[in-house]
Chains A and B, each alone.
Chain A
């Protein structure tokens, strides 16, 4: 399977909002579409998915034009949206039916994903309550079974109706939408800002799911502003700035192309003079921990030799590439 996007262009009148964007995914993994606000990420995604007419270019999946007939697509939109007053289960079933999943298979998948994303309590009715004055073995309140002895206790067990979308937090709505996107077991998953608004616990849940999907051979396009998350998953990226792709390709190679310029040193004594003499730019210093910028390996090695020659005990010496965040700021901010 492969996804090829070539020369994607979109114009509104004389204004070009997406200018010749191209990339390929020839093996499963995560492809990141990054960019500042208004750079053209969402427009590009909409064109890829066929929701927006293109002014140029084409998108193919396995050599055929990409649409929901030729490719099983799961899409998590940037705008969070569910029917506010309808039952969540009805909505989820509806979207499953639209994607061709019906009957018991659909119910099975809903149960699986609801459990996986920890949203069961919002979708299905259940019992909640506090039992007091009970003698004997514990009763499983949330199993749905009422105790035979409830009438003889000061118990307040009540059946809780499933919630509607407007009763959920933004994060939980997002998880429901993610569940909807995964119902058809899609081959191509498009996630537009999937982690925005999620707390750390839910972020970890989603990250686990993404890792699992990668392992299952899925193709994922992700758009995000959270660089650390992108670095965690993505093998290839495109950074958009003002409608154009300013950086595109394999993430490791891109990083290598900028060289290893970040230097972190931890010592037991003050080495500020040595740093200055070596011509290294000192970015930050805190309690004998030094963050520096070097021009390359040579300068870093020269500083290390100087420290060693002067019998300075180096606790930690870490030469690394630019982070994706730094690359992004460098390219988009320029």
Chain B
């Protein structure tokens, strides 16, 4: 008589073959390769593109002087500044403000009405209007008069630009000229007052106050090297990395699981390999694929952002997307983060694998992905903004309890708010969760993958797992 032992459903025999085959097919498939290359390139160039476009926007705002087109140049023949303030402004100041493109423009600075009339007459006699502007255009129609006055009521200065009723100068061009002259006027103001731009910035930024606190809290605040911006950068970068990791893994896992079900291959395969080995091989294969993207993407992003900053000499640098925070804290942190990422991936991917095996047709895939994706997005959202709003106790709790710990633990660890021992405890808990999910998977995967007429809900799966194991072949 045969022994009546329970089946060893946790056997991993055949895992290597499943892993090798699935990995091989993913890297041979054109669609998977295109996806890999696209995502990696996106991660490489996202940061530099954001930096370059950000700098272009800043440059265009401050370099309006050089942005005059040919029509602007032809339509402006003269600029007369009537300076009614005590700030000294010379003709050379105005010339350098408007730039070289308008170097041939008639420029004058006057202090009173008489000198203004004289300059106006001089301008009208000396300038010739370009024929392209039209026959009825007079010299005054190509003149900008800038009035600098003091508003004593509001203790400020006014810069007004005036053109003739029939002026050929566009509003946009007029604005460009006025912006340039305003900037120069402000600079002269500070210079005469004996203050620098930085002094003005400090004066204008105001004062921020903290709530009252104990001496311990005060010392912690002093020693805390993370500014609000740094906290947001770290939590944003890490959450983004995790969202990419988990979102990709969910869809790929469900796809590879459904592949066998929809191809009616499950029976043939399950004669040769146990269900846990089958799903584990697939999960590891998808992990290889996704981590290839993540590693190539983050390392490449780091390099491309550094090169961009070094070579292009950009005025504005954007750190939000270059993933440098991952590498800036040292090798131990990198190793801890990597282990945490792997645990996070395993938790969500086993969950996705179980949900994928409940699908009976391709239309079921979307709802299966939705369940896991929703959990992922909620946790990611809380992790992205939580560090700025939650206090330390809440952060500590969320760093220990999965699935929140998947996101919170690495973030709070990098912020220095989670000691290494707590991080290790968090990882151990996640490993136990992985083991529990693996055990659940081993019990239910075969039944789910062979079932094609019943859509198992989550409670059905739990009931299936809790059913007493019958005597089967060992």
Contacts and interface: CB of A to CB of B under 8 A. Distances in A.
Interface string B9-25: 00001100110110011
A205 B263 CA distance: 25
B265 A81 contact: yes
Contacts of A80: 264
Interface string B428-472: 000000000000000000110010000000000000000001111
A79 B5 CA distance: 30
By Cβ-Cβ distance, the 8 closest A-B pairs, closest first, are A81-B264, A98-B272, A79-B264, A97-B17, A65-B473, A94-B21, A77-B267, A81-B265
Nearest to B467: A53
Band of interface residues on B: 35 or more
Contacts of B472: 50, 53-54
Interface residues of A, number: 38
B473 A81 contact: no
B24 A90 contact: yes
B7 interface: yes
B268 A81 contact: yes
Interface string A67-109: 1111001010101111111100010001101110000000000
A291 interface: no
Given A77-B267, A79-B267, A81-B264, A55 B470 contact: yes
A104 B270 CA distance: 25
Nearest to B266: A81
A83 B263 CA distance: 6
18 contacts: A46-B267, A49-B271, A50-B7, A50-B472, A51-B271, A51-B446, A58-B1, A58-B473, A67-B474, A75-B267, A75-B268, A75-B271, A79-B267, A81-B266, A82-B263, A83-B259, A86-B25, A180-B268
A64 interface: yes
B243 interface: no
Interface in B1-56: 1-5, 7, 13-14, 17-18, 20-21, 24-25, 28-29
Given A55-B470, A84-B263, A90-B25, A98 B17 contact: yes
B273 interface: yes
Nearest to A96: B17
B295 interface: no
B473 A59 contact: yes
Contacts of B24: 90
Contacts of A67: 7, 473-474
Contact of B265 (A59, A82, A90): A82
B17 A54 contact: no
Interface string B406-440: 00000000000000000000000000000000000
B269 interface: yes
A82 B29 CA distance: 16
A51 B263 contact: no
B264 A95 contact: no
A295 to B, nearest CB: 46
Contacts of A94: 17, 21
A65 B3 CA distance: 7
A49 B474 CA distance: 11
Nearest to A78: B267
A38 interface: no
Contacts of B3: 65
B275 to A, nearest CB: 10
Interface string B252-278: 000000010001111111111100000
Nearest to A180: B268
B2 A63 contact: yes
A249 to B, nearest CB: 23
A54 B471 contact: yes
A269 interface: no
Given A51-B446, A68-B271, 11 more contacts: A53-B470, A63-B2, A67-B474, A69-B13, A70-B473, A79-B267, A81-B265, A82-B263, A85-B29, A86-B25, A90-B25
A25 to B, nearest CB: 16
A75 B266 CA distance: 12
Contacts of A65: 2-3, 5, 473-474
A94 B17 CA distance: 7
Contacts of A51: 267, 270-271, 446, 450
A66 interface: yes
Contact of A66 (B4, B28, B473): B473
Contacts of B268: 75, 77, 81, 95, 177, 180
B285 to A, nearest CB: 12
B259 A73 contact: no
A60 interface: yes
Contacts of B473: 50, 58-59, 65-67, 70
Contacts of A63: 2
A97 B21 contact: yes
A58 B470 CA distance: 11
A209 interface: no
A302 interface: no
A62 B314 CA distance: 78
A314 interface: no
B470 A77 contact: no
Given A66-B473, A83-B263, A58 B269 contact: no
Contacts of A229: none
B359 to A, nearest CB: 16
Q: Which of A64, A81, A84, A177 has the most CB of B within 10 A?
A: A81
B381 to A, nearest CB: 36
A64 B3 CA distance: 7
Nearest to B259: A83
Contacts of A70: 473
A150 interface: no
A1 interface: no
Contacts of B447: 53
A52 B7 CA distance: 12
A95 B470 contact: no
A52 B25 CA distance: 29
A83 B265 contact: yes
Nearest to B21: A94
Interface in B189-210: none
Contacts of B269: 95, 98
B23 to A, nearest CB: 12
A91 B107 CA distance: 82
B282 to A, nearest CB: 12
Contacts of B1: 58, 60
A245 to B, nearest CB: 21
Q: Which of B263, B266, B470 has the most CB of A within 10 A?
A: B263
A55 B472 CA distance: 9
B14 A98 contact: yes
Contact of B2 (A58, A99, A180): A58
A72 B271 CA distance: 10
A100 B259 CA distance: 23
Contacts of A81: 263-268
